[in-house]
Amino acid sequence: MIADSNGIVISHADGTLIGTDTASKLSLWDNIKNSETGFNAYNSEGSSKYSAHFTSAESKWKIVGVIEQEELMKDVRGVRKAVLIWGAISCIITTIISGFLAKRIIAYIFKLDYAFSKASEGDLTAKVHIKSRDEFEDLGNSFNTMIESIGELMLKATEASDEVITAAENIAVMSRHTNGAVGEVSAALDALAMGASSQTQDIGQGVQNFEELGYEIENIDNLTNNMIKISQDTNEISKKGLEIVDMLLVKADKTSETTSHVANVVADMNKTTGEIGLITETINSISEQTNLLALNAAIEAARAGEAGRGFAVVAEEVRKLAEQSSEATKRIQRLISEISGKSRAAVDAMDEAKEIVKEQNVVVEDTKEIFNTVIDSVDKLIDEIKVIGGSAEQTREKKDSIISIMQSISAVSEESTASTEEVSASTEEITATLNEFMISSNNLKEISLKLKEELSKFTLEE
């Protein structure tokens, strides 16, 4: 029967039911309607029936098949009888075969149990020999393969354990050596850090010393400038002294001319006494002028200082001569009556005065030469002082450059000290790590020894 979702019969073996709602009146319609598929047992018109239904995915129609229980059981009874007969025969045959197989299986199980027992005791030489060409033979071969693999694994584990023990011992030795070397490096780094710190302090002291040297160089430069100024002043004074000497030469020439004139006058005194008074006045006037010149010369010589000391002596002599000339004129005035007799003595005195004037001229020339020498020396001194000033300037520039370099070196030294301290701290961390590494290697050695001890419990060779 085919019915839609409302229970209207679409197809039925009884054509008179097509189009009716017979399906919806069935007692099991609610179960059919609410499920996609299903199997139901029910009673209808006093007989037991079975139904199976299926829902179409496209049309949602219900396809329902119904069969009488009696009709179904008729076929089932025949099948059940045949099944019972063949079941009894099968049980007998199975019992016989099972007994035979059980005996073989128990024997195989005993072999496997014995092998597993030996293996559990650590005997990895245990083997299972089963030739049954079935799963027990495969199981025995798998057991043998497993035991061989475990044995090889144990051998490799033993060898690896020995290698680990040796490696752990070597690591411990290397760790101790490395720890000692790192300790030496750490000590060297500490010494290097102390040396770098001391070097930094020395460089700082050197920079301070160079700065103090710079101050001294600046003082030298200032002193050099002062020396140049003093030398220039000395040069100016020397030039003025030279001018004064030139003036003295002029005055000396005039004095020489005057002395010659006096000599001529004294010579003429032998011819006339009437002119003696005039000559006396003239001599007195000349003496006063000479005295004034000598005084001026002494003053100029005093101004010239050390360089005019020799000329001051000459000026003093000239002054004395002027005073003597003045006294002589006074005596001439007093002794005018004796002039005639003593005129020759006066001429001799004039001659002597000429010689003195000549000597004075020589001294003045020498003084001039000395002043020229002083001027040349002062000029050379100024040049030398300027060279010294230039050298001081270059020294100051080099000093600044050296201070800059030393400051850079000091900065690098400080960075080097900091880096050394960091490396020293790193070596301390490395030392601590090596100690931990050495402890770990000892632990590894102990574990490897325990592993080897456990592995020795297994029998690997017959």
- Beta strand 9-11 with 37-44 is unpaired
> Does any domain span residue 23?
yes
pLDDT surpassing 80 at residue 18: yes
Question: What separation, in Å, do the N-terminal and C-terminal C-alpha atoms of the chain show?
Answer: 80
Could you tell me if 268 and 416 lie in one domain?
yes
> Does any domain span residue 283?
yes
> Does any domain span residue 441?
no
279 C-beta neighbours (distance < 10 Å), count: 22
Domain boundary among 52, 68, 84: 68
Give residue-wise pLDDT tens across range 144-188.
787 777 777 667 767 766 776 676 676 666 666 666 665 665 666
Domain count, the chain: 2
The answer to whether 332 and 265 have CB atoms below 8 angstroms apart is: no
Range of the domain at 16: 2-68
Could you tell me if 376 and 233 lie in one domain?
yes
The answer to whether 9 and 17 have CB atoms below 8 angstroms apart is: yes
**Cα separation of 67 and 304, whole Å?**
167
Domain boundary among 39, 68, 97: 68
pLDDT surpassing 60 at residue 383: yes
> Does any domain span residue 42?
yes
- 56 against 354, higher pLDDT: 56
Residue in this structure with the two tokens 């004039």, named with its chain if needed: 350
**Cα separation of 230 and 232, whole Å?**
5
> Does any domain span residue 442?
no
pLDDT surpassing 80 at residue 36: yes
**Cα separation of 78 and 82, whole Å?**
6
> Does any domain span residue 226?
yes
Domain boundary among 21, 46, 68: 68
* Best mean pLDDT range from 82-86, 252-256, 338-342, 390-394: 82-86
Name which of 60-64, 161-165, 206-210, 401-405 the model is least confident about: 206-210
- 10 against 81, higher pLDDT: 10
**Cα separation of 149 and 161, whole Å?**
18
Predicted TM-score of the model (pTM): 0.31
CATH of the domain at 287: 1.10.287.950
* Best mean pLDDT range from 52-61, 144-153, 201-210, 306-315: 52-61
> Does any domain span residue 350?
yes
Q: Is 218 helix (H, G, I), strand (E, B) or coil?
A: helix
Compute the half-sphere exposure of residue 314: CA atoms within 13 Å on the CB side of its CA. 24
> Does any domain span residue 277?
yes
